[in-house]
Structure 1
Amino acid sequence: MENKYADFALLFKALSDETRLKIIDMLSCGELCACDILKYFNITQPTLSYHMKILTQCGIVNANRQGAWMYYTLNEKTVKEISEYWSKSTSNKENCICHECENRTCSAGNCKES
């Protein structure tokens, strides 16, 4: 697995907000207009725009302007990459990062001096 720690740190930082997590959950059902998303929150339109900017800049959400309205969808490619990264990062594997250190071995996920 190519190490993309910095990229995934930005993605997880974007997901570290309760409002943004709710938006992701809402978008899991399909495309939504910003006006429809806004109905579910007690926030202003500029605050929603701020959250959507974060989600689109890191690639989790796609934005599509249709006239005066913005429509949002999940970026399935990024969602899949996050899922694969998390699965690989949290499982025991042959190419564990601790194997890169000399004089270390991995035992049950714990790195120890040899």
Structure 2
Amino acid sequence: MAKATEVSSNLVIVGFHALSEPLRVQVLDLLRDRELCVCDLCEALSVTQSKLSFHLKTLKEAQLVKSRQEGRWIYYSLNLPQFVVLEQYLAEFRRFSPILPARSCRDSE
């Protein structure tokens, strides 16, 4: 059981790390509607393929995107089950932690 928790915890960590970079979030936004090849992503984001490759590698390692090769092009799409993992992680906070209004320092005096 500890092994499964470690794997799940690691996926959450790398998932949120991948989401911490604005360019990677832009990639995910572009992939919301459809699968895109690297050339389309580069053009839409106005970045070079070498720069984008680094970010796509991070997204793949976080399992947020999946890829498939067709001829000489690689096509990327969202890996929705991994988004569910991150969503469930955040939902645990909402379920078990009451959401209270923010308190100022003066309220505690």
**Identity across matched positions, percent:** 28
Q: What is the TM-score with the length of structure 1 in the denominator?
A: 0.74
Asked if the contact 2:12/2:85 (under 8 Å) is kept, the reply is no
What is the letter of the counterpart of residue 85 of structure 1?
Y
What is the letter of the counterpart of residue 32 of structure 2?
S
| Aligned length in residues | 95
- From 6, 11, 18, the equivalent of 2:15 is 11
Q: Relative contact order, CA 8 A, sep 6+: which one is greater?
A: 2
Q: If each structure's helix is expressed as a fraction of its own residues, which one has the higher value?
A: 2
Is 1:91 the counterpart of 2:94? The answer is yes
Deviation at 1:109, TM superposition (A): 6.3
Unaligned runs of 5+ in 1: 97-107
RMSD: 2.0
State the alpha-carbon separation in 2 of the partners of residues 73 and 109 from structure 1.
Answer: 35
State the alpha-carbon separation in 1 of the partners of residues 10 and 80 from structure 2.
Answer: 20
- Runs of at least 4 residues off by over 2 Å: 2-7
What is the letter of the counterpart of residue 33 of structure 1?
C
5 Å matches for 1:91-110?
A: 91-93=94-96, 108=98
Partner of 1:70: 74
Q: What is the TM-score with the length of structure 2 in the denominator?
A: 0.77
Unaligned runs of 5+ in 2: 101-109
